Chains A and B, each alone.
Chain A
Amino acid sequence: MQGNFLRPPQAEFPVIRLVAEDGTRVARAETEPDRATLLELFRWMVFGRVFDQRMINLQRQGRIGTIGTIRGQEASAAGLALAMRRSDWLVGSYRELLAYIAHGVPIEAVISLYRGGVPGPFPEDVAAMPIQIVIGTQMPHAAGIALGAKLRGADDVVVGCCGDGATSEGDFHEGLNFAGVHKVPAVFFVQNNGWAISVPRARQTASETIAQKAWAYGMPGALVDGNDAVAVYAVVKEAIERARAGEGPSLIEALTYRVGPHTTSDDPRRYRTDDEVELHEKDDPIARLRRFLETEGIYEEGLQELLEEEARSVMSQAIERAEAVPDVTPEDVFDLTWAAPTEAVRRDRERTLRELREVGEVGKE
């Protein structure tokens, strides 16, 4: 009875790469970025690196709480964000902070969130769900928003993002399964950075690739070099265009690496070697894109330093704005919990505030 079972051949998923680690072009794609977009990609990636370091510093100074690091994943985040229209919905998590900012979310909103306050509403023209902290729960939201766009006949596309760890969650399956059945305009983008805190990718799934899971949901899948910003942009753009044309959802696995710790509270030396990290650090997505820009003759001497300086200045201003935002109040929490408070909610709110005043916790001069 042997030989009746089929296995998907791994060779069906070659890694899509347009620019090699040394910055040389190895392939072309119809949807790849133009010159202006290449420079934008580079600008955002440099910003992401500065942002990450500044946020870690703020945490070390006690000015913000625990934050996830994004170092090494700048190409994936910038590539996916720039391939979207601003009216397309970004539905992601804390590992996509750079994508949120590049999509139009104010930097101070992100800082406010990590200061432990209310982020403030995103601007009206930025289509995005909140930065998700609960793992994988956003995937059915992405399917639902995309279904909404389809039902209304709008041409919005939804990009739902998660990490390799989240692919183990039931909501990853339920979201992609729903999207496949209802053929909604969604792109599911998995940043496979190799680690879910201390658990390696091989301990999340026995599947050869995450990309091949697409087949089971009746959608096309792609495996892309997540440190190649040019390839990420091209692949996401292709999937978005297909979704916008009514051809349904896609799954993209971006292979990248979390160079830093999971968060500022994590010590990766407990579970992985420095050698492994050093090996991956050599494949720096920013250095790769810079070499590509140089070989294409787009790079001007001193650009990276200029962009770093600009990013530092932008961050300083954003930090100043975020730190000027008053702390969240108990009133804010009640008023943002209910859109239509009932009489009981109003009375409960007043009781809580009265008790806080009595112990001197609010209303202090």
Chain B
Amino acid sequence: MKANIVEAIQDAMRIALARDKDVVVLGEDVGKNGGVFRATDGLQAEFGESRVFDTPLAESSIAGVGVGLAAYGLRPICEVQFGGFLYISLNQIASQAARLRLRTSGRLQAGMVIRAPYGGNVRTPDLHSDSLEALFAHTPGVKVAMPSTPYNAKGMLLAAIDDPDPVVFLEPMRIYRGLRAEIPDGHYTVPLGEARIAREGQDVTVVAYGAETQTALEAAELLASDGIFCEVVDLQTISPLDAQTILASVAKTGRAVVVHEAVRQAGMGAEIAALIQEQAFYSLAAPVQRVTGWNTPFPFVQAEHLYVPGAAHIAQAVRRALRD
């Protein structure tokens, strides 16, 4: 079938609801309305109000009720409407979902998925465009998946639904509908915890994830016409982090650029740069470059196109990495 990312995500949920009666979908406006991005469109009509249902407008309890459902043995898929609203769910995810297994000596676990669109450059109101993945990557016990294509969005969501650990599933809002591709019908999984090589190259490793993977691929295309060949590593899952794929690529290229649209300080870029420094220092021919959002809150709409790294920003960082 041909699908964009939202359709791929919807297809994954439809398949999961059909194959396992313990799967339930809950969140704000996910019922009749089908979600504000239509990710759950038609699911309530197809599976009924006991499988797909609206919650009160309260993001702590969307996650907290999910913990309870999971403890009882169900497989909740919780939708949080926008990534910025995850601040309100953070307590239930970090202090509860992530630790239920440890606290109960393995008797109970919060096998649940918390889905949320993330990222900017789509002209949303305040707090609708944040990229909060570093908060969750700093929370052991929670996996953080950030798909970049219709194929891995569907496969990783199906893997997340089957996973016994809680998974924060951050969907690239900016490319929800912009990217259409052929994906397999029916059930398949893309394993959590494995990065992929989105484009092969030998000059510079560009590490990206989520929507910025597509931007990194654009940059790689631009640079190729100048004879610079980037290897684009798409992390897919940012926690636990597939260090081996990053290190293998850096061993080959000797140069690395890390890209994300989240805040720079203490972001994934810092983690990945530290990892490369610790484990691939002697492969490096140049300092690791970071291309990120700013050390400010996400700006208002008029400045967001400057905040979210574009292909030109990434290309410039690649050239910087090649200067030394």
Contact = CB atoms under 8 A, between A and B. Distances in A.
A146 B100 CA distance: 17
B60 A340 contact: no
A2 B221 CA distance: 72
Tier of interface size on chain A = 35 or more
Contacts of B55: 178
Contact of A140 (B64, B107, B109, B244): B64
Contacts of A119: 103-105
Interface-central residue, B56, B72, B102, by most chain A CB under 10 Å: B72
B105 A120 contact: yes
A339 interface: yes
Contacts of B163: 339-340
Contacts, number: 149
A345 B92 CA distance: 23
Given A151-B50, A345-B240, A339 B111 contact: yes
B67 A141 contact: yes
Interface of chain A, helix or strand or loop or mixed? helix
B61 A143 contact: yes
B71 interface: yes
B242 A141 contact: no
A134 B95 contact: yes
A338 B111 CA distance: 11
B107 A122 contact: yes
Contacts of B251: none
Interface string B36-50: 000000000000001
Interface in A121-146: 121-122, 129-130, 134, 137, 139-146
Contacts of B56: 174, 177-178, 181
Contact of A344 (B73, B95, B243): B243
Contact of B103 (A130, A142, A348): A130
Interface residues of B, number: 52
Interface string A22-57: 000000000000000000000000000000000000
A339 B164 contact: yes
Contacts of B102: 118, 333, 336-337
A148 B68 contact: yes
A221 interface: no
B61 A342 contact: no
A348 B240 contact: yes
A246 B192 CA distance: 40
A14 B243 CA distance: 63
A148 B74 contact: yes
A139 B76 CA distance: 17
A144 B106 contact: no
A171 interface: yes
B40 to A, nearest CB: 17
A357 interface: no
B68 A140 contact: yes
A249 interface: no
A341 B240 CA distance: 9
B141 interface: yes
A17 to B, nearest CB: 33
A343 B242 contact: yes
Contacts of B72: 89, 144-145, 148-149, 152
B158 interface: no
B174 to A, nearest CB: 27
A295 B7 CA distance: 71
Nearest to B96: A137
A141 B68 contact: yes
A170 interface: yes
Given A129-B71, A129-B108, A141-B64, A337 B101 contact: yes
B69 A342 contact: no
Contacts of A134: 91, 95-96
Interface-central residue, B55, B92, B103, B243, by most chain A CB under 10 Å: B103
B61 A121 contact: no
Given A171-B61, A339-B111, A347-B243, A148 B101 contact: no
B64 A336 contact: no
Given A151-B50, A343-B244, A344-B241, A338 B165 contact: yes
A89 B104 CA distance: 14
B69 A148 contact: yes
B68 A145 contact: yes
A108 to B, nearest CB: 13
Contact of B107 (A121, A152, A344): A121
Given A134-B96, A337-B101, A342-B193, A144 B67 contact: yes
A321 to B, nearest CB: 15
B68 A147 contact: yes
B64 A337 contact: no
A177 B96 contact: no
A146 B65 CA distance: 9
A148 B71 CA distance: 9
Contacts of B184: none
A121 B68 CA distance: 17
Given A121-B107, A137-B95, A340-B164, A174 B61 contact: yes
B100 A130 contact: yes
14 contacts: A121-B104, A139-B64, A142-B68, A143-B64, A171-B60, A174-B61, A181-B56, A182-B53, A333-B102, A336-B106, A338-B165, A339-B164, A340-B164, A345-B240
Interface of A: 89, 91, 118-122, 129-130, 134, 137, 139-149, 151-152, 170-171, 174-175, 177-178, 181-182, 333, 336-345, 347-348
Given A141-B96, A341-B240, 14 more contacts: A118-B102, A121-B105, A129-B104, A141-B64, A141-B71, A145-B68, A145-B71, A148-B68, A151-B74, A171-B60, A177-B56, A178-B55, A339-B164, A344-B240
User: Which 3 pairs across A and B sit closest by C-beta, in order of nearness?
Assistant: A144-B68, A140-B64, A342-B193
